[in-house]
Amino acid sequence: MKKQSEQVVLITGASSGIGQASAKLLAETGAKIIACYHSNKDGAEETKRIVENAGGECLLVKADVTNKEQVIDMVNHSVEAFGYIDVLVNNAGAAIKRSSFLEIDEDLWQKTYDVNVKSMFLVSQAVLKHMVPRKSGKVINISSIAARLGGPGESIHYASAKGAVDTLTVGLSKEFAPHGILVNGIAPGFILTPFQDKYSTQERIDKIVPTIPIGRAGSAEDIAKVVVFLASDSANYMMGQIVTVSGGR
């Protein structure tokens, strides 16, 4: 794979799943990785090993991406270490827990929006302040096809938050394109990652997989390959797109 000029890439939620797979594939293109994690230190250290084994350089940064002060510290530390950030991959997110709509309380609703939407707002704002003066940069937001499906399986709160992510992505793309910054999103379908281990039973997985036209569930690497594409020069005429990667589901 052609080197992408040693881009500096900040990835949130980089300790497992899509974030970890993206770190690996981007490192293989020559990118330097800033892997942000919150609580999964072991996973983050595994990401660092994977990146280094791929011939890349990896800086681990611990931060709660729903906390403004910690986000600013994370971004400033990253810029101090590498001088700039070329690409931001807003990957951190969670469904918190499944719940029927009438059982969703205010706390669950707010926590879901904090981890999926507020985090992207805070991290994007902090990173874009560094990208704008350079007139260059790419932001890749990880959304979900749940935003369009409406949250089947007791996940309306999560689907609604991902709908906000889609809107944020399109809005940012229009505001920052004049500054040379391209913002796009990816809407994964049913991807077998630790996310599903936490939020789906085996019975649910067995019911969903046969409904996927391509005939299988997706992998973290399936999404990571699209992250690499959007970070590359091949996507230099794309902005405001939510790329669906779902095997046809």
Catalytic residue among 37, 84, 113, 158: 158
What b/e readout covers 159-177, taking b as 16+ CB neighbours within 10 angstroms?
A: bbbbbbbbebbbebbeebe
Within 8 A by CB and 6+ apart from 126, the residues are 71, 72, 74, 75
DSSP labels, 75-93: HHHHHHHHS--SEEEE---
**How far from each other are the two terminal CA atoms of the chain, in whole angstroms?**
29
The H or E element that residue 185 is part of is strand 181-188
Distances (CA, A) of 228 to 4, 124, 154, 186, 246: 9, 19, 32, 11, 17
Say how far apart CA 135 and CA 107 lie, in whole Å: 39
Instruction: Verify whether residue 84 is a known catalytic residue.
Output: no
Say how far apart CA 111 and CA 95 lie, in whole Å: 9
Residues annotated as catalytic are: 158
